[in-house]
Structure 1
Amino acid sequence: MHTGLAAWHRYMQTGDTALLAELIAPDAVFHSPVVHTPQVGHAKVLMYLTAAGQVFADTSFTYVRELVDGPEALLEFTATVDGIHVNGIDLIRFDLDGKIIDFKVMVRPLKAMNKLWEMMAATLQNT
């Protein structure tokens, strides 16, 4: 398994934000399903991914499919958040050192995206 992807899975299992911080490249970019502009830089990407981890904590979040092509991984996930079924993908690109350089999230259906936007906004406001 790709070293960056293995580290991502370790983070997802442990929730260790120190591990996540090490995994993100200084010039990483995060693409949110609801924020129009890409979020650029280590601090912003860490903030968004940490908030997402908090939103999905204590849900049935599970990766159900994984496609890997060189430095890129597409991870399909499902979860149930406030009774709403969420289906989405994390599209992650790693650099040669196994650091995340690009992270894009897509979510469906619209009701799930709206719920996640509401929860992410509340979580980010408290950070």
Structure 2
Amino acid sequence: MTGLDTKYDYMRGHDPAVLWDLLHPDAVFESPVVHTPQRGRDIVFKYLVSAEKVLGGAGFAYRGEWRNDRSVILEFDTTLEGIVINGVDMITFDSNDRIVHFKVMVRPLKAINVLHRLMGERLA
């Protein structure tokens, strides 16, 4: 099983233990709404679990996938508070198929504002 397969398993099953094992201890997360990269498994885990709870409802779907040897870009969309959110997850895996870098980009601006508020509430 590849790291990407494990990522999809997590999104289907919502088991936090799967995500924890998938993250490298030195993983880095780059949020569309936080200026500085978040470093380390603990904080990356917290952000990704929160994002899955905010974004990962019934309407969430991956629509496109582009990959090379150690990285993947996954396009997704969902709707929050009547706003269609379109974004990409840019994920890099190490040689053991663990996530070492996870960057999220989101559009449009209204979506970023809603996401910022909802993630802030969840992470508070």
Query: Which band: TM-score by shorter chain?
Result: over 0.9
Task: Give me the CA root mean square deviation.
Answer: 0.9
Distance in 2 (CA, whole Å) between partners of 1:57 and 1:11 is 11
CA distance in 2, matches of 1:106, 1:92: 11
For 1:10-49, what per-residue CA distance to the aligned partner results, in whole angstroms no more than 9, with x for missing partners? 0010111000000000000000001000000000100000
Which runs of 5 or more structure 2 residues have no equivalent in the other structure?
none
Alignment of 1:14-93 (within 5 A): 14-93=13-92
SS of residue paired to 2:54: helix
Query: After alignment, is 41-50 or 56-65 more displaced?
Result: 56-65
Instruction: State whether residues 11 and 56 of structure 2, in contact with CA within 8 Å, keep that contact through their aligned partners in structure 1.
Output: no
SS of match in other structure, 1:116:
helix
* 1:53 CA displacement: 0.9
C-alpha separation in 1, matches of 2:91 and 2:47: 14
Q: Percent identity?
A: 47
TM-score, normalised via structure 2 length: 0.98
State the SS of the aligned residue for 1:7: helix
Letter in 2 for 1:123: R
Tell me the amino acid that sits aligned with residue 66 of structure 1.
Answer: E
Q: Tell me, in whole angstroms, the C-alpha distance in 2 between the residues paired with 1:124 and 1:94.
A: 25
The alpha-carbon deviation at position 58 of structure 1 amounts to 2.6
Q: TM-score, normalised by structure 1?
A: 0.95
Partner SS, residue 121 of structure 1: helix
Q: 1:59·1:80 contact (CA, 8 Å) conserved in 2?
A: no
Q: Give the unaligned 5+ runs of structure 1.
A: none
Where do 4+ consecutive residues of structure 1 move more than 3 Å?
Answer: none
- Superposed displacement of residue 59, structure 1: 4.1
Superposition deviation, residue 56 in structure 1: 1.6
AA paired with 2:48?
L
